[in-house]
């Protein structure tokens, strides 16, 4: 049945490319949209599970997340209380144009959320973010300030890679924009980010001064193997080590090891470590965190998280909010997509050092609404760029999307699938073996289809 559906979609896509036909009558599989995550906590005094936390997601008709609410359960009044809230607006191309955050600044029961910050975004002709403005809330006047308090601008190279971000602040005397911070980004030959260098402007000056530098190292398979952070010592005028993360890759495990730099001994000191364990589908199923080492050099267990999935539901059938709003971004840790199926439950445990055992203290459940998708959302642009086109030997992809998998399929003019690959945002595909001529491609990410024509010369 799914094969017939896929064929129907493909036929309609080709028809759209050639004749501009509408696709709104295509039948698709059911979708599962994440509505909330509810967490309960074990009460060790009465030995019962009790309500603890709740994350709630709201969407518009295009499945953009329009509201995120983080709640806690207040037992004094037996109600869920919002602890913070975020609201979003989008343009017709699903780009965020406004983000408003609300926060709770009082610990009193029943205290209301107060607007905190408002961010407004603009985009360039390539649909990459061009600038953003930050507005503060005037609590006395109960309105947003008329003037933005800070501004960010972004510059890209010909490969659509971010190369400069500049932060401006208001001059106290003239109210004009003045330089505040700047970050420059550099990339290796594989299009992976290799370095970030940040600068700041000293008071009453216009000069940029070194602040921090971050270096990224990759293996031959483009896995992130080391993250090195340095700060600039103005006394010695040299870059000095600050912290680093090293990554160890095993068959089904990713192990990040954290270090801090000891200025006295000039040595790296272990601070913590984690074990990320994956199933055969590359779903994250367990994270064990370690807090330093004991006298024998063994890592000391600290906390453990586990995750379960419905393997019958693929990621393409899910509608999810941005990954940073799901359990603090655990499903997109270290620039890796850690989910391929439908999440069901998770648990949190702490290490009982006295009994040398794990103690379960929290568990959560993912709640979805299921609906039949009767149309396919086709867009000419979804923030994913292919170049060059026409192509010769190598086709490059560039996107800022990191919160969900991206699937690329290439078809000949008869509709035969000749290439299929999952992208990670900085990919290239060899097209050297393709015959000269016209091809059609489909890119799918989080329920959006991007279609187009590719010419091989």
In the chain, the percentage of residues whose pLDDT exceeds 70 is: 88
Question: Does 2.60.40.3080 match the CATH number of domain 378-456?
Answer: yes
Q: Give the rounded distance of the alpha carbon of 25 from its chain centre.
A: 32
C-alpha 5/C-alpha 28 separation (Å) is: 6
- pLDDT at residue 303 above 90? yes
Matching fold, domains 23-61+69-77+140-372 and 378-456: no
Could you tell me the pLDDT band of residue 27, with boundaries at 50, 70 and 90? very low
> Which pLDDT value is given to residue 434?
84
Kind plus residue range of the DSSP H or E element containing 165: strand 162-170
How far is it, in rounded angstroms, from Cα 404 to Cα 337? 7
Q: Is the pLDDT of residue 436 over 50?
A: yes
CATH class of 23-61+69-77+140-372: mainly beta
Considering the chain, what percentage of its residues have pLDDT values greater than 90? 58
Read off the pLDDT band of 157 (50, 70, 90). Answer: very high
Three-state DSSP class for residue 250:
coil
Structure tokens that stand for 261 in this block: 């730099």
Please enumerate in sequence order all residues whose Cβ is within 8 A of that of 173, keeping only pairs 6 or more positions apart, or say none. Answer: none
Express each pLDDT in 239-296 by its tens digit. 999 999 999 988 889 999 999 999 999 999 999 999 999 999 999 999 999 998 999 9
Distance CA(132)–CA(77), nearest Å, equals: 40
pLDDT in tens, 305-334: 999 999 999 888 899 999 899 998 888 887
At 3 the pLDDT is: 44
pLDDT of amino acid 426: 53
Question: Which pTM was predicted?
Answer: 0.80
CA 205 → CA 58, 135, 258, 284, 345, distances in Å? 46, 25, 37, 49, 54
Least confident among 3-7, 167-171, 247-251: 3-7
Q: Between these two residues, 26 and 168, which has the higher pLDDT value?
A: 168
Is pLDDT larger for residue 21 or for residue 233?
233
Q: Give residue 150's pLDDT.
A: 97
Q: What is the pLDDT of residues 94-150, one digit of tens each?
A: 899 999 999 988 777 778 899 999 999 999 998 899 999 999 999 999 999 999 999
Helix, strand, coil % in the chain, rounded to nearest 5: 5, 60, 35
The model's pLDDT over 43-68, given as tens digits with 9 standing for 90+, comes to: 989 999 999 999 999 999 889 999 99
Name which of 7-11, 38-42, 186-190, 405-409 the model is least confident about.
7-11
Residue 404: band (very low, low, confident or very high) from pLDDT cuts 50, 70, 90: low
- Listing DSSP states for 67-103 in one string gives EEEEEEEETTTTEEEEEEEEEEEE-TTS-EEEEEEEE
d(CA 34, CA 354): 39
| Mean of pLDDT values over 371-379 | 57
Confidence at residue 403, expressed as pLDDT on a 0 to 100 scale: 56
Check residue 446 and report its DSSP letter. T
Those residues whose C-beta lies under 8 Å from the C-beta of residue 418, and which sit 6 or more positions away, are 410, 411, 412, 434, 439
DSSP string for 325-375:
GSGGGGGGGGG----SEEEEEEEEEEEETTTTEEEEEEEEEEEEEEEE--S
| Ranges of each domain in the chain | 23-61+69-77+140-372, 62-68+78-139, 378-456
How does strand 208-218 pair with strand 193-201?
A: antiparallel
Q: Can you read off the two tokens belonging to residue 422?
A: 């999952």
């Amino acid at each position: 049945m799914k094969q017939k559906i896929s064929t129907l979609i493909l036929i309609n896509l080709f028809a759209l490319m050639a004749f501009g036909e509408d696709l709104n009558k295509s039948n698709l599989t059911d979708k599962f949209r994440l509505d909330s995550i509810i967490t309960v906590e074990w009460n060790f005094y009465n030995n019962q599970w009790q309500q603890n936390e709740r994350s709630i997601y709201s969407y518009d008709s295009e499945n953009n997340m329009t509201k995120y609410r983080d709640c806690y359960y207040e037992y004094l009044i037996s109600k869920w209380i919002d602890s913070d809230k975020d609201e979003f607006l989008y343009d017709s191309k699903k780009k965020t144009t406004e983000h408003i955050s609300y926060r709770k600044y009082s610990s009193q029961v029943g205290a209301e959320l107060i607007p905190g910050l408002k961010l407004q975004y603009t985009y360039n002709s390539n649909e990459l973010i061009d600038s953003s403005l930050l507005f503060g809330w005037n609590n006395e006047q109960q309105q947003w300030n008329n003037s933005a308090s800070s501004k960010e601008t972004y510059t890209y190279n010909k490969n659509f890679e971010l190369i400069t971000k500049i932060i401006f602040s208001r001059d106290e005397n003239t109210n004009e924009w003045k330089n505040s911070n700047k970050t420059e980004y550099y990339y290796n030959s594989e299009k992976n980010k290799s370095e970030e260098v940040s600068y700041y402007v000293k008071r009453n000056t216009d000069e940029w001064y070194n602040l921090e530098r971050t270096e990224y190292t990759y293996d031959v398979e483009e896995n992130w193997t080391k993250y090195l952070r340095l700060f600039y010592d103005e006394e010695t005028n040299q870059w000095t080590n600050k912290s680093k993360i090293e990554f160890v890759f095993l068959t089904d495990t990713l192990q990040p090891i954290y270090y801090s730099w000891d200025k006295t001994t000039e040595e790296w000191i272990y601070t913590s470590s984690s074990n990320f364990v994956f199933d055969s589908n590359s779903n994250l199923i367990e994270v064990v965190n370690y807090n330093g080492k004991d006298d024998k050099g063994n890592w000391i267990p600290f906390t453990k998280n586990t995750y379960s999935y419905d393997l019958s539901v693929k990621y393409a059938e899910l509608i999810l909010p941005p990954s940073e709003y799901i359990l603090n971004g655990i499903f997109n840790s270290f620039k890796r997509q850690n989910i391929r199926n439908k999440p069901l439950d998770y648990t949190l445990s702490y290490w009982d050092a006295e009994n040398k055992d794990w103690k379960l203290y929290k568990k959560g459940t993912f709640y979805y609404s299921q609906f039949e998708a009767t149309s396919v959302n086709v867009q000419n642009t979804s923030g994913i760029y292919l170049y060059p086109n026409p192509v010769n030997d190598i086709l490059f992809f560039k996107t800022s999307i990191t919160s969900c998998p991206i699937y690329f399929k290439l078809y000949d003019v008869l509709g035969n699938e000749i290439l299929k690959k999952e992208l990670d945002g900085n990919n290239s595909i060899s097209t050297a073996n393709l015959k000269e001529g016209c091809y059609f491609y489909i890119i799918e990410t989080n329920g959006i289809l991007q279609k187009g024509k590719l010419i091989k010369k």
